[in-house]
Structure formats: C-alpha cells, structure tokens
Amino acid sequence: MSRLLKSLMAAFLLAGLTVATPAQAGSTPKPKPKPTVVLVHGAFADSSGWNDVAGRLIAKGYPVAAFSNPLRGPLSDGEYLRKFLATVEGPVVLVGHSYGGAVISNAATGNANVKSLVFVAAYALNEGESVSDANHLDGGETEVTNHLKTKPFPGAQGQDADAYIDPAHFHRLFAQDLPRSTAAVMAATQRPGALAALVTPSGPAAWKTIPSYFVVAKQDNIIPTVAERAMAKRAKGVIVEVNSSHVPMMSHPDLVTSLIVKAASR
C-alpha cells in the first residue's frame, strides 16, 4: 500500500472520529428533578384531605410530602414547618389549605428553596394580621365561630382551648359539595385548632417575595369568598376561581393539581 493511500485512510478515520464527537455532545440532557410538593392541611382537617391531589401529583412524577400541622398558632406552626423544610433537599412548592395558608407563608419567608406558594381556599395573611382579621376583608363575614365546640388541652394559656366544628354543622359549613357520608367521617376525624390560632397575628408575609397561586372557592362557608379574593389580589397572585365548598382539593382535585403543576413548572 502506497504511503499516499495510507495517509488518506488515516485522514478518513480521523475525520470519522471527529464527526462522532458532536453527535454524542448533542444527546438529550437528563431532565431536571421535579420540585418536592409539600401539602399543608388546615384546622378541622388532617392530611387525608390531600389524598386525591397527592395521588395525582405522584402519578406525574412529583415527590410529595404531607405535613402534619400542629394547629397551635401561625408563628409556632410556621417554625415547625420551617424545620421540616430544612430536611427536604432541592426546590419546594408549598401548598396550604385554609389555615395552612397562614402557616406556609410564615414558614417560607427567607427560604430560598421555596419556589412557589399555592393557597387553596386559604389564608394569605399580611404581617400583623390574624385569621379573624382576614375573615372581615372586603366586608366578609363567617358563621363558623358560632358553631365551634371547645375542649381543654394540657398547657393551654388563659381561655385557650381546642376548637372543633360542631358535627351537626360540619357538612353545611365545611364540605357541602361532598357526600354527607364523607363529611360525617371528616367531622368525626377532624383535628382541632387552638382558639388562639384564630387571633394570633402573623409574621412576615412570604407571598410578598415568592410567586403565589390561589384557588378561590366561590361557595366557601368557612372563609368568606370576598376575603379570599382580597387576599389573592393584594398578593398579585395567579387566581383560579371554582364553584366549590371549602375543600376544592377534594371536590375538584384535577383543577387543584393542575394549578400546583403550573406553580411547580415556573
């Protein structure tokens, strides 16, 4: 074989090797891990209220954690959640229902891992504002405080006590668009909130610095709908309204899941 032919073959082989390298470099990169969705329940409820939404999120590949809310007060519960979040690696989407909204806003302040907040028929309190204060925004009124049953708990200060919704009124106030049999079980298994949690002023509002999303329930008999709208508008959040009771994550789980995925996709 001539020296010229050998040189040409070597050149072709070298060219073939250099052509393969860009093709390998152009391979599809691995997708980024999805953020962990942390679901926070409110008063008179527990984490089981998130079951339908959690199942849908897991099916879409999202890591999910349902936080057990102590229901003692927005500041102490927020600190409890803050410590829980410190154990979660990577980005987080925080989702709060009802009083749980006050908790996620207190917990998320200053946490760079929290990328989005989702308020589902929830309180997005301003600093210094209480749940009781927020119920009256834009002229709102709620009758749930007229139908609470209280029980003492160890360590309660002053007139504080555990508050439950009277089971006789639970379906009408909390979940009128769910079957009565479902609401009866929810009433029997509800977790109480401390009365003090309703009047304790909130800390700094994370929704002022973190993108926020809101599900406003138009048939809510716990948080006045006008108050939900007022909180969502002042947060300049993405707002979705739904013809739902106080538990849209149970009566409209597809809609709630869709908004959480939108928040997680920022």
Query: Which among 136, 132, 134 has a CA at the least distance from the CA of 148?
Result: 132
pLDDT at 39 over 50: yes
Confidence check: pLDDT of 238 > 90: yes
Domain extents for the chain?
36-141+202-264
Confidence of residue 3 (pLDDT cuts 50, 70, 90): low
Helix (H, G, I), strand (E, B) or coil at 172: helix
Beta strands in the chain (DSSP E): 36-40, 64-67, 92-98, 114-122, 148-151, 162-165, 193-194, 212-217, 238-242
What residue spans of 139-240 are helical by DSSP H?
167-174, 180-189, 225-234
Convert the pLDDT of each residue in 182-230 to its tens digit: 999 999 999 999 999 999 999 999 999 999 999 999 999 999 999 999 9
Please check the confidence at residue 2 and state whether its pLDDT lies above 70: no
Buried b (16+ CB within 10 A) or exposed e, 184-203: eebbeebbbbbbbbbebebb
| 93 pLDDT above the threshold of 60 | yes
**Count of CB atoms situated within 10 Å of the CB of 111:** 16
Provide the pLDDT for residue 157. 87
- Summarize the confidence of residues 27-54 as an average pLDDT: 91
What is the average per-residue pLDDT within 48-73?
97
Nearest to 150 by CA among 183, 190, 194, 184: 194
Q: DSSP letter at 26?
A: T
Is the CB of residue 163 less than 8 Å from the CB of residue 155? no
Tens digits of per-residue pLDDT, 252-264? 999 999 999 999 9
**Lowest mean per-residue pLDDT among 27-31, 106-110, 197-201, 209-213:** 27-31
- The pLDDT of residue 27 is 60
How far, in Å, CA of 107 to CA of 246, rounded? Answer: 23
pLDDT at 15 over 80: no
In which residue are the tokens 């891992």 written?
A: 113
Mean pLDDT to the nearest integer, 96-112: 97
User: Residue 26: its pLDDT value, please?
Assistant: 55
More confidently predicted of 17 and 134: 134
Would you say 211 and 116 are in contact if contact means Cβ atoms under 8 Å apart? Answer: yes
Q: 29 pLDDT exceeds 70?
A: no
Both tokens of residue 12?
């072709």
Give domain 36-141+202-264's CATH number out of 3.40.50.1820, 3.90.198.10, 3.20.20.70, 3.40.50.720.
3.40.50.1820
In angstroms, the CA 266 to CA 116 distance is 8
Query: What is the rounded CA–CA span in Å between residue 194 and residue 109?
Result: 23
Q: Look up the pTM and report it.
A: 0.88
Q: Tell me what pLDDT residue 204 has.
A: 95
1 pLDDT more than 60:
no
